[in-house]
Amino acid sequence: MHIDFKNLNINNLSSQTDFEYKLKNFLEEWFSNGETVKVQTSGSTGIPKVFEIEKKKMINSAVMTCDFLGLKEGNKALLCLPVDYISGKMMVVRSIQRKLKLIVTEPSLKPTEYLDQEVDFCAMTPLQVENSLDKLHLIKNLIIGGAAVSENLKEKILNTELLSRTSNRIFETYGMSETLSHIALKQIIPKPEEYFTAFENVSITTDERGCLEIWAPNVNAEVLKTNDLVEIKNGKQFKFLGRIDNVINSGGAKIFPETLEALVKKEIPNEAVFLGIEDDRLGQKLILIIEGEESADLSEKVLKIPFEKSFHKPKEVIFTEKIPRTPNGKVNRIELHKIITQS
């Protein structure tokens, strides 16, 4: 399906798949007289929920992204994310707001499999990018969200030969359903950055726990309190350390699993997740779960990882065929914890 938002006629859109049917339903909801649309959360950090968002705030969010990336009327965009969630809905709203030509493809782990032309803009999850490395040179502006971009994936992106010959830009995003997609970006290509930079009209601070607080009046009427531990620099940039509800307390030491996962993923290509499992002596025992078949090579690489502290080294390494994920690709730590403790 191709949609030119400069000359849109919803009645002429033919829905041949379930995804296209959902897209058409969203467009009808968007152009209805209602002032809000329904959005579903991913459920990666709790029970999935549905809430309503004002259309004007979604437009404000779309303008911030389009202006930052310099998107213009008639530019081409690729939609390959589910429209059940804010990420897919916002891709559509950006296309409406800037009158883009939208190429619609069924959400999958290989979204660029049939892409044979250049596009100006696309949003993907890390897993989708992992399976699209050979086509990244066709995307002028790519934003990656839904989950953290691993160090291993960053290396693969940086080493993509075709990409090095282009002027493409790739960013990691920071955001959530409550911020209407992202409110900050961190560049991967052409110049890798360590800190996220917040958009204009977005203010950031930390609370007494060290967690990020966001004041983005254009998209949310209240100060948004997150559970994300961060380090703020220059009042406008921040480094993500981990979620406070994922912090592992082992023997009195607080451990940020996301920080350790980034270190492990520099050394191995597999998905890796640190969990704290209840332990009588330590309170929580630090374990590492690696997705894939156990091998002597992988085990040896894990043993050689230069962890900063001795208590950062996992007490146990478990290999599993598949790590559970939410529908939009995030690691489901709650479900993984259940699987590991029950087995």
Q: Give the tens place of pLDDT for each residue, 163-182.
A: 766 789 999 999 887 788 89
Q: Higher-confidence residue: 14 or 58?
A: 58
| Nearest Cα residue to 95 out of 160, 34, 30 | 30
47 or 68, higher pLDDT: 68
Asked if the 2-202 domain carries CATH number 3.40.50.12780, the reply is: yes
Where residue 42 falls among pLDDT bands split at 50, 70, 90? Answer: low
For position 279, what pLDDT does the model report? 86
Domain coordinates in residue numbering, the chain: 2-202, 247-342
User: Looking at residue 148, what is its pLDDT?
Assistant: 80
Closest CA to 123 of 169, 74, 63, 164: 169
Q: What pLDDT is stored for residue 48 in this prediction?
A: 64
* Separation between Cα atoms, residue 45 and residue 178, nearest integer Å: 13
pLDDT value at position 47? Answer: 61
Q: Which of the pair, 109 or 45, is modelled with greater confidence?
A: 109
Would you say the C-alpha torsion 42, 48, 54, 57 has a positive or negative sign? negative
pLDDT at 46: 54
pLDDT tens profile 246-302: 889 888 888 989 889 988 988 888 889 999 999 888 899 999 999 999 988 888 998
% of the chain beyond a pLDDT of 70: 96
User: In the prediction, which pLDDT does 328 show?
Assistant: 60
Mean pLDDT score of the chain, rounded to an integer?
89
Question: Is the whole model's pTM more than 0.85, yes or no?
Answer: no
> Largest Cα–Cα distance in the chain?
66
Tell me: pLDDT of 162 over 80.
no
- The Cα 222–Cα 209 span in angstroms is 19
pLDDT of residue 160: 84
Residues with Cβ within 8 Å of residue 49, at least 6 apart in sequence:
40, 41
Fold of domain 247-342: GMP Synthetase; Chain A, domain 3 (3.30.300)
User: Do the Cβ atoms of 244 and 260 come closer than 8 Å?
Assistant: no
Question: pLDDT at position 236, please?
Answer: 92
Query: 140 falls in which pLDDT band (50, 70, 90)?
Result: very high
Give the whole-angstrom CA distance, residue 71 versus residue 96.
12
Structure token digits, residue 290: 């690696």
CB crowding 84-101: b at 16 or more within 10 Å, else e: bbbbbbbbbbbbbbbbbb
CA angle 179, 180, 184 (to 5 degrees): 60
265 contacts 151 by C-beta, under 8 angstroms? yes
Q: How much is the average pLDDT of 314-328?
A: 87
Higher pLDDT, 8 or 90: 90
